[in-house]
Every structure is written in structure tokens, then in C-alpha cells.
Amino acid sequence: MIQLSKKFLSKWAVVGAVLFMVVQVLTFLYLPTLTAGIINQGIAQHNLSYIIDQGIKMFFLSIVSVIAAGGNIYFAATQSQLMGKKIRSAIYRKVIYFSEQDLSHFGDSSLITRATNDVVQIQNVMVNMLRMMIMSPIMLITAIILAYTMSPKLTLIFVISLIILVIIIYLIMGQAIPLFRSIQGKTDNLNLTFREGLTGVRVIRAFNRDQYEQDRFDGYNRDYMNTGIKVYRLTAMLFPLLTVILNFTNIGIVWFGSQLIANHTFAVGNLVAFMSYATQILISFTMLSFMFVFLPRASASAARINEVLNQKDTITDPEQPVQTKATPDDHNATLEFDDVSYRFEDAERCALTDVSFKVHAGQTLAIIGGTGSGKSTLVNLIPRLIDPEKGVIKLDGTPINEMTQYDLHQLVSITQQKAVLFAGTIRSNMQFGNEKATDEEIWHALDVAQASDFIKREDGLDTKVEQNGENFSGGQKQRLAIARTIVKHAQVYVFDDSFSALDFKTDAKLRSDLRNDPMISNAISVIVAQRVSTIANADEIIVLDDGKVVGQGTHKELLANNPVYQSIVHSQIREGSDSNA
């Protein structure tokens, strides 16, 4: 909490809130003293002018108190909301640059819970802290001092009541705090199951797992509810108990106070003021204790948020980056891997071992290999979505980790294996990597990607794209993602298994259009594919097996002397003839 407050809470807000609160408390606490004066010197001595005088004072003090309370609430509410906004932005900024591993380490659902629910916990506590945490101690201490100056003997009653209250709060909090802490973890479980259910809804139905998933969700839901009930049952006991203590305290004050009045050592007005102080002291103390109940939950949330914000950046820009003069339209670059290896965190074996190659502008490099052989890992290294454990990757002779990521991403355009589209229109999606792309350029890219037909049948470039591109089929999404890659001007175009959802004919047409496109054909193309037919024309083919390069050369060379490539080719010919049979 402290770390987040230092970073995201304005110091002036705290100063403002404290100043207003001090004024509010002091004016508020002075009112019982004035009441005592009215009773003792006004009513008892039939002094009307004194009563009017004190009444006017009370009126103005009340107005000052209300204005001060408003000022404090304004600071507390706006600053806690502002703090929440800043934290959410910081989390989003951080997560956008997370590596794949960081993303899977935290999990999507947990990150969403942290950016929403956890931030709300911080906001709620912060607004109360800027009010209660300031008000309660000032109120408590000032009320005790004022009461003590009126009657040290009667103040003893508070001490006894406070001791009883401390014991009760200690017992209740001892049980409530661990429950509060556990609620955030349970929220994660709930969100995770809900999200998994939503994304996998078709699979769940198709496999008749709806009841199973419903029961699983109900389990987490019930667990969350039971914890909530336990917590609120415990904390709800606090108020009735406080009322009982308050009543007994007042009885004690009246009992002993009336004896003092009978002995003429205490005035009636003081007794009334004393009872007001008793109420304020006990309520302030309870409020303060409540803050200590809510604080653990908020600090659990703060710890979860800090975990994200303090996550070490795995992929960083160099302190003194090389200023690359290359522009996306310069098509004379080379892409070079020099002995590159990559290992996923905590993995025993490398996902990629000692990969070396060099491709020039105008050439196509193809990567082929079985499932899990390291193809995506290799291409993800090019735009630095991951960094190699060993070896150097150079673009245009410059190691890519010596440029800024911004510069690198300007030069590389990639279609990921899983096509991702964003809610908006076809035009907004196509302009994602090239804001200045004209309609003509976009239509050209859609033509090359074999995506223009189905777009023309809709509203053209204004066709709506739903969240995650849900209103398009898998193959259509893939073609649109390819078109988006083409719209961006780049020195290196990467297509990670992007043609797999296309039928043979469309695949062949798309590759031929790509070859004939002046921009793509002059740049470097890196194509990951499962089908030999997709890559047979490549200038260089890398055959991967278990992360190692087991073959490198042209289709002809590999077909002549590489057993792994030969077996891939033969298996696909067999598959083709089997399916034709």
C-alpha cells in the first residue's frame, strides 16, 4: 500500500485532506463544549443573551465543519479515483510489454482481476483512509483530552470501555483478517473458471461437459460466497457489541456523573458534553479498527498489483540504442541468426538449439518441422517477442537487441500463428500497422491475402469486426491477419503457420500473389509452414526437429539428401493420395 501510495497518490491531496479533516474534527468537537456552556451558564442561569451568543457560534462552527467535511470528501474521493486510474494505466502499460512467459506466469484472468477488482479494493481503502484514518485518531485523541479536562475521574469509564472494545475487536479481527485475505485469491478462481467457460463454451457443449463445468463454477462460487458470509457475519457482530458497550458507558457516565453533580463537583451541561465525547471516542475507535480490518484485504490487493508492476522487464531497450537509418521501404537488408539458442524459463531443454542462417532482401526463408519442433519460437525471436539465451540475431548487420524495440518493430511485420483481430472495422484493423494506408493499398493487401471476396460481400472496408473477430471464420481471420501484415511496410515479413487454414488452391494463389507483389517480393519473407507445397519455392528451407536444425538448403537439395525432409515429403504425398483415394 505504501509503495503504491508513494507512486500514485499526490502529496498535495494528502495535505489537503488532512487540513480539511483537522478543521472538521476540531470544529465538530468544540460543539459539545458549547452545548455544555449553554446548559450551565445559559439555561441554568436564565441568561438568554448568552444562549443566543453561543447559538450563533454553534451555527457558524457547524457551517465551517460541514464545509471542511465537504473539502475532505472531495479530496478523498477524487484522489482515490485518480489513484485507481493511474494504477490501472500502469498495469496496462506494463502488461502490454510482458513477455509470453510473464503472461502465462500470471494468467489472463488474474491480470484482469488485478487491474479491476484489486484496484477497486485500493480505491475503497484509500477513500476511507483519507477520511477515517485521519479523522478517527484526531477525533479519538482530541475527545479524550477534552473529556479529561472536564473530569479525569469520569474519563476512567472510557478507559474500561476501550479495554473491553479492544479485546472484542482483537478476537473478531483475528478471524476476519485471514478470511479477507483469502477473498482475492477466490476471486481469481472465479474469474478464471468463468473466462475459461466463456472461451471454451463450444468445446464444453460438444463434449457434454456443461454440467461438469457448471458444478466446477458453482463450487468456486459457493466457496466465494461462504467466505463472504463468514467475513460479514463476523464484522456485523461489531456494531451491536459497540452499541451495547456505548449504552453501558453512558449508563456509567450518568451513574457516576449524577453523583458528582449531587456533590456539586460537576455541572449538568458537562455531563451532556461528556456523553457526546463518549460516543465519539468509541465510534472513532471502532472506525479505526474497521480500517485495520479492511487494510489487510487492500494490502493483499496491493501486493498482487505490485507483483505485476515490479515484474522485471525481460525484454528491454539498450541504454544507448543504435540509430538505424534503415526505413521499412529500404529493401536491401539481411537477416542473420548466428548460433542462436532459446530456452523457456524453467525448461530443462532448449526449445531451439544453435540455429544459424542468413537471408537477403528478395529471398524467402521457410521453416518446416513437426509439432513442437521450435518453428514459432524461431520466428518470435525476430521481432524480439522473446530474447535468445545464446547467439546473436542481426537485421541489416545490426544486432536487434542494440536497436530500440520501436525501430525494430517498424522494420518487421508478422502474422502470428493464432490470428488476432480487434473490435472495430476492417479498415481500422488493416491500418493497425500503417495508419496512413489508403483504401487502395488496403484493397490490394486484401486481394493478395485472398480476403477481398468475403469483405466485398459485406460492407467493404467498413465491415464491422466483433471482439476477437468472432464474426469471421478461422480461415477468414487468418487471411485478414495476413492482409494486415502486408499493409504494413517492412523489411522482413514473417508468416507463422499462417497458411494452414487455407485450402490448397487458395494457399497456392496467395503465395503466387505474394511473389508477384513488388513490396513483399523485394523484402525478406520468413514462412513457417506444415505443408511442403507451401515452401517448395523458398530460397532456403530450414528443417527443425526437436529444436535442432536437421536440414538446411533448397527443396531440391533437401529432397535429395535429407532423410527428415524426405520423410515429411513422403508422408504428405501418402496423405494426399490417401485422401484422393
Ligand X SMILES: Nc1ncnc2c1ncn2[C@@H]1O[C@H](COP(=O)(O)OP(=O)(O)OP(=O)(O)O)[C@@H](O)[C@H]1O
* Among the listed residues 246, 351, 446, 543, the single contact to ligand X using CB under 6 A: 351
Helix and strand numbers, DSSP H then E, in the chain: 22, 12
Binding segment (CB under 6 A) for ligand X, from list 3-11, 192-200, 371-379, 519-527: 371-379
In the region spanning residues 505 to 524, those forming contacts with ligand X, defined by CB under 6 A, are: none
Tell me which long-range contacts 467-473 makes (C-beta under 8 A, separation of at least 24): 467/422, 467/423, 468/420, 468/421, 468/423, 469/419, 469/420, 469/421, 469/422, 472/421
CA 562-564-567 angle, 5° bins: 105
Q: Could you tell me the smallest distance in angstroms from the CB atom of residue 354 to ligand X?
A: 15
Minimum CB–partner distance for residue 3 and ligand X (Å)? 29
Min CB(509)–ligand X separation in Å: 23
> Which is nearest to 356 in space by CA: 493, 557, 562, 548?
548
Rank residues 250 and 416 by Cβ distance to ligand X and give the closer one: 416
Query: Shortest CA distance to 11 belongs to which of 83, 62, 63?
Result: 83
Which cell is 288 given? 479505526
**Segment interacting with ligand X (CB under 6 A) among 42-50, 268-276, 364-372, 469-477:** 364-372
Q: Rounded to the nearest whole angstrom, what is the least distance from the CB of residue 91 to ligand X in the complex?
A: 21
243 forms part of the interface with ligand X (CB under 6 A): no
Q: Are 331 and 362 in contact (CB under 8 A)?
A: yes
> Should residue 571 be labelled a site residue for ligand X when binding is judged by CB under 6 A?
no
Span near ligand X by CB under 6 A; candidates 42-50, 54-62, 99-107, 511-519: 99-107
531 binds ligand X (CB under 6 A): no
Q: Is 265 in the site for ligand X (CB under 6 A)?
A: no
User: Distance (Å, rounded) from C-alpha 40 to C-alpha 266?
Assistant: 10
Q: Is 341 helix (H, G, I), strand (E, B) or coil?
A: strand
Site for ligand X in 417-456 (CB under 6 A): 417
Q: If you search the block for the grid coordinates 536440414, which residue do you land on?
A: 551
Selected binder of ligand X within 50, 74, 344, 422 (CB under 6 A): 344
Does 377 sit near ligand X (CB under 6 A)? yes
Rule CB under 6 A: is residue 310 a binding residue for ligand X?
no
Reading the block at residue 161, the C-alpha cell is 470501555
Please report whether residue 55 would count as binding ligand X according to CB under 6 A.
no
Among 257, 374, 383, 469, indicate the residue that binds ligand X (CB under 6 A). Answer: 374
Question: What span, in angstroms and rounded, lies between the C-alpha atoms of 575 and 581?
Answer: 10
Residues pairing with 464 in the sheet = 425
Q: Which helix (H) or strand (E) holds 431?
A: none
Kindly state whether residue 347 participates in binding ligand X, applying the rule CB under 6 A.
yes
Strands 464-465 and 424-425 turn out to be antiparallel
Q: Contacting ligand X (CB under 6 A), which of 54, 121, 373, 415?
A: 373
The reply on whether position 541 binds ligand X by CB under 6 A is no
Q: Can residue 40 be called a binding residue for ligand X (CB under 6 A)?
A: no
Distance of alpha carbon 439 from alpha carbon 451, whole angstroms? 14
Interface residue list for ligand X (CB under 6 A)? 100-101, 104, 344, 347, 351, 369, 371-377, 417, 497
